[in-house]
Amino acid sequence: MADKWIFATKNPHKLSEVQDILQGQLEIDALPAHIPEAPEPYESLYDNALFKAAFYESHLKQPVIVEDSGLFVPSLGGRPGVHSARFGGPDKLLEAMRDMSQRDAYFVAVMVAYYGPCKYTFAQGIWHGRIARVKAGSGGFGYDPVFIPDKQTATVAELGVEWKLRNSHRARALHRLLKQLSAG
């Protein structure tokens, strides 16, 4: 396993969250500002994550960890899904679901550790819940103010950052990835 990794994202919230989840278990650095953002040309989180990992590793010539994630709402045909970052955020989601009674949703995060041509491992984390009827809470980012995890009555934004760091789709994927990296 590499001693040092680049967490390849242009999203400062994701970088900060991953650093907090890791708590020093793995040394990661931010993506250098001069590196262009990788495209996401596929309709699959796995394909986009692997593509981005190879893209960044080819630019940096050092091991990278890449994450691609999305919020999937079955009553919206799976949208926003792979396009979550470009969908329009929680307000647009609430508007699209205004008259819907079926509010089940789930987050999926795919993490890829890429450490050379055709040398990679990946892990997935899934987080089930439902979409609230109104935004609530001020913690977190993205869809946190509208996502209520299973067995909870509050949104992620209300539950707080520490709770999210232990339970999120990103945390689940990252812990699985760490186990795989340490095993082999």
Q: What is the pLDDT of residue 68?
A: 95
What is d(CA 181, CA 184) in angstroms, rounded to the nearest whole number? 6
CA atoms within 13 A on the CB side of 88: 7
CB-based contacts of 15, cutoff 8 Å, min separation 6: 7, 9, 30, 31
pLDDT at 182 (0 to 100): 87
132: left (phi over 0), alpha (psi -120 to 50) or beta: beta
Domains and CATH numbers, the chain: 4-183 (3.90.950.10)
What are the two backbone dihedrals, phi and then psi, of residue 29, each rounded to the nearest 5 degrees?
-115, 160
What are the tokens at 153? 């009555």
Given a contact cutoff of 8 angstroms between Cβ atoms, the answer to whether 126 and 99 are in contact is no
Which residues are known catalytic residues? Answer: 68
Span 19-36, pLDDT tens digits: 999 988 888 999 999 999
Cα–Cα distance for residue pair 111/94, rounded to 1 Å: 28
Residue 139 confidence (pLDDT): 83
pLDDT at 1: 62
- Rounded mean pLDDT for each run of 10 residues along the chain, 184 residues in total: 85 89 89 93 96 93 94 98 94 96 98 89 97 93 96 97 94 95 81
Claim: this prediction has a pTM higher than 0.75: yes
